[in-house]
Amino acid sequence: MMSEIEKMASGKWYDANYNEELLKLRDRAISLLSRLNKLSVEDNEEIQSLIHELLGYEPDHLALILPFTCDYGTNISLGEDVFINSNCYLMDGAKITIGSHVFIGPYCGLYTAAHPLQYRYRNQGLEKALPITIGDNCWLGANVSVMPGVTVGNGCVIAAGAVVTKDLPDNALAAGVPAKIIRFIDQDEELTD
């Protein structure tokens, strides 16, 4: 028989609300985040130490503007030179993989949790977590929401306020609710005034 953590990691329905082991892991993250989010920018050494404890590793050149929220921390994988602006929430019941050179605007949410439509199952605390992947060199504008199971390709730009419900191919410019591809970005195009 699978544990609730094993069910969560494999994308099966699991008890997210009442399982003691998962509650303990979330309480650990809440405690670390509470300490982290009270620090000022001058407390860089302590900030780096708490980020390492929360994630289980030290990200390479992470710029994190506090406050920040996540569920576990240990399911977040960050590439090099990631910028995460203030008030972002990474709901990491499943793996959240963010590539290198990614800019995430303020108030963005990456949500891995899916809930049953039937309230009798929701009331039992059931949910499933599906992984989210953000490719290299992406930019998520302010208030972007990425839904469970979505993969965003390399070089994508997602306009502020968009809700991404489906995978996006490389170099897509997407906007809207739900997000639709507006056009593709020519990465060799020169800047104009």
Looking only at the bridges linking them, the beta strands covering 126-129 and 14-15 are antiparallel
CATH number at residue 109: 2.160.10.10
Residue 8 has a pLDDT of: 96
Whether 190 is covered by a domain: the verdict is no
| Whole-prediction pTM | 0.96
Residue of 52, 61, 101, 115 marked active site: 115
CA gap 131, 142 in Å, rounded = 21
Residue 192 forms part of a structural domain: no
Number of domains comprising the chain: 1
Domain presence at residue 191: no
* H helix runs in the chain, sequence order: 4-9, 20-37, 44-55, 119-122
DSSP letter, residue 136: T
The verdict on whether 115 is a catalytic residue reads yes
Q: Which residues of the chain have pLDDT under 70?
A: none
Which of 94, 179, 101, 193 shows the shortest CA–CA distance to 145?
179
Range of the domain at 158: 4-183
What is the DSSP-derived secondary structure letter of residue 180?
A: E
pLDDT given at position 193: 78
